[in-house]
């Protein structure tokens, strides 16, 4: 049984490539920086982060993308000694081609694709070296914004990004909504076009067709979708957006899915994660094994002393050049923006440094010195949905922001640094429970102090920080922020468990 989740927490839209004995995986990152996380494996099962494609200003137009925009659905491939990664910078630069000789190294600035308007771009080459870009033709610019033209394809010059012909329409699935995530493969002389359809929510699935060339014509599999968890009680829902890779033990599929909680599996706190499963070929069609969650995974504890540079897990929001954050003497110091809104985490680009929540049960804690400002710890889905535990002179405040609704709880504090924490715990439905406790996914607890002096200031329903409620396709990210002045942090700790 393969390890699942393969990459936990907000890591959607996985794409995988094998080069020699090495495997590389890329995922979407939306408005977060650094963008497009990359992972390496030698067995296509255990994945180690090695870097990001987007590591400097200008590669994506992150500064101004709306919530849910930014890096959508990369495809990573290898051709003639060079790694290629295509991605849509949604509501930003558009479709892009990045290249690098080493995926762990520095990637190019990105070439804008011209004549391939859409999302979820795939890149492939035939035996003659002709480059094909196949994509989901969802229009995100111009007067036809939101129009979907199905799966389309062009021959392209990958060096210039220029399409060499007008787009052609390809097989676009069985008629379910949002045909997307196309990938082209040549397997034993036959070309396969695999797509997602049904939407990236509960109806998500993987469908496939085959034909004699990259241009088709394509005929659908006798049974499509070839993989879906729709209308089942499987603990992983929204399963789809797959990519195939051949391993020494056969074929595997990486795909996205969610782990919704509650009696009706309604709310998924971690967003869309990466999973993997095995694939067999029968009569020229892929047969995908039902993936299984791995039981009894060991708890995780990660400490950040800030004595060393921040690790690959840390993120900012739409800010590729955060001059407002510094490290010194084992502390992380964040300076607030001069134009910060009354609620700092409502900002389009808050002064915030965070990491993904990757476990259903989690606890983040950090010591805050707010003697020269106001700041604290926040768990965020987007700028309109976040829970904060905030410290200022003589006061600690827990805050819930739900779109236009705000609620706070306050308590006095003595001067000096204080530990604040945010903990999440899954709700297990039980007989006699009220309906809200039956359907929600988890509780989020906000507090301060440690040990016997710990005070729980607020307990909040976690369903409101899920992709099923917010307008975002991301996941929970928890971290430190400054609302005014200068705030220092030390001893950040993340604890997580799925038991």
* Both structure tokens of 477: 């990210």
CA–CA separation, 223 vs 107, rounded Å? 40
Strands 477-497 and 455-461: unpaired
Per-residue CA distances from 301 to 85, 95, 172, 284 (Å): 32, 38, 44, 45
Q: Is 180 a catalytic residue?
A: yes
Residue given tokens 């290629």 in the structure block: 84
Q: Which of 31, 117, 120, 180 is catalytic?
A: 180
The values of phi and psi at residue 237, to 5°, are -115, 175
CA–CA separation, 99 vs 183, rounded Å? 18
CA–CA separation, 208 vs 220, rounded Å? 6
Asked if 291 contacts 240 with a C-beta cutoff of 8 angstroms, the reply is no
Q: Is 301 a catalytic residue?
A: no
CA–CA separation, 425 vs 85, rounded Å? 37
Asked if 374 contacts 486 with a C-beta cutoff of 8 angstroms, the reply is no
Asked if 238 contacts 219 with a C-beta cutoff of 8 angstroms, the reply is no
Residue 75 CB partners (closer than 8 Å, separation 6+): 15, 26, 85, 86, 87, 120, 121, 122, 123, 183, 243
Q: What is residue 62's three-state secondary structure?
A: helix
CA–CA separation, 48 vs 43, rounded Å? 11
Nearest one of 265, 262, 497, 472 to 383, comparing CA atoms: 472
Nearest one of 462, 446, 370 to 413, comparing CA atoms: 370
CA–CA separation, 385 vs 343, rounded Å? 12
DSSP state of 224: S
Per-residue CA distances from 133 to 16, 85, 184, 187, 292 (Å): 17, 11, 9, 18, 33
Q: Which of 13, 31, 120, 319 is catalytic?
A: 13
Just list the catalytic residues: 13, 180
């Amino acid at each position: 049984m393969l390890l699942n989740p393969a990459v936990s927490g907000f890591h959607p839209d996985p794409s995988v490539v094998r080069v020699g004995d090495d495997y590389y995986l890329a995922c979407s990152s939306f408005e977060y920086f650094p963008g497009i996380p990359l992972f390496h494996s030698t067995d296509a099962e255990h994945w180690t982060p090695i870097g990001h494609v987007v590591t400097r200003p200008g590669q994506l137009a992150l500064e101004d993308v709306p919530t849910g925009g930014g890096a959508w659905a990369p495809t990573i491939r290898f051709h003639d000694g060079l790694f290629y990664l295509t991605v849509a910078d949604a509501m930003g630069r558009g479709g892009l081609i990045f290249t690098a000789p080493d995926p762990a190294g520095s990637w190019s600035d990105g070439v804008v694709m011209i004549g391939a308007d859409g999302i979820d771009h795939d890149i492939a080459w035939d035996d003659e070296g002709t480059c094909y870009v196949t994509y989901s033709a969802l229009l995100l610019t111009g007067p036809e914004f939101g129009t979907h033209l199905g799966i389309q394809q062009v021959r392209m010059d990958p060096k210039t990004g220029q399409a060499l012909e007008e787009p052609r329409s390809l097989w676009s699935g069985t008629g379910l909504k949002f045909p997307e995530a196309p990938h082209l493969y040549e397997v034993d002389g036959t070309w396969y076009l695999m797509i997602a359809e049904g939407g990236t929510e509960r109806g998500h699935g993987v469908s496939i067709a085959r034909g004699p060339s990259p241009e088709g014509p394509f005929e659908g599999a006798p049974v499509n979708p070839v993989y879906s968890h729709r209308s089942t009680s499987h603990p992983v829902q929204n399963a789809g957006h797959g990519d195939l890779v051949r391993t020494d033990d056969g074929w595997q599929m990486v795909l996205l899915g969610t782990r919704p909680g509650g009696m009706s599996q309604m709310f998924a706190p971690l967003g869309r994660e990466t999973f993997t499963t095995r694939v067999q070929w029968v009569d020229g069609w892929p047969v995908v094994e039902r993936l299984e969650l791995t039981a009894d995974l060991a708890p995780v504890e990660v400490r950040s002393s800030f004595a060393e540079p921040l690790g690959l897990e840390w993120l900012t929001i739409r800010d590729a050049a955060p001059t407002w954050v510094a490290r010194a003497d084992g502390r992380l110091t964040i300076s607030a923006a001069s134009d910060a809104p009354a609620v700092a985490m409502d900002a389009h680009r808050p002064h915030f440094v965070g990491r993904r929540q990757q476990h259903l049960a989690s606890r983040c804690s950090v010591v805050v010195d707010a003697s020269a400002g106001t700041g604290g710890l926040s768990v965020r889905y987007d700028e309109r949905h976040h829970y904060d535990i905030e410290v200022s002179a003589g006061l600690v405040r827990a805050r819930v922001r739900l779109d236009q609704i705000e609620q706070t709880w306050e308590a006095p504090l003595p001067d000096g640094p204080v530990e604040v924490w945010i903990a999440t715990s899954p709700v297990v439905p039980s007989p006699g429970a009220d309906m809200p406790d039956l359907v929600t996914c988890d509780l989020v607890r906000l507090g301060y102090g440690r040990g016997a002096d710990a005070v729980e200031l607020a307990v909040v329903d976690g369903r409101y920080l899920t992709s099923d409620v917010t307008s975002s396709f991301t996941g929970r990210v928890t971290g430190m922020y400054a609302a005014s002045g200068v705030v220092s942090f030390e001893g950040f700790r993340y604890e997580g468990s799925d038991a």
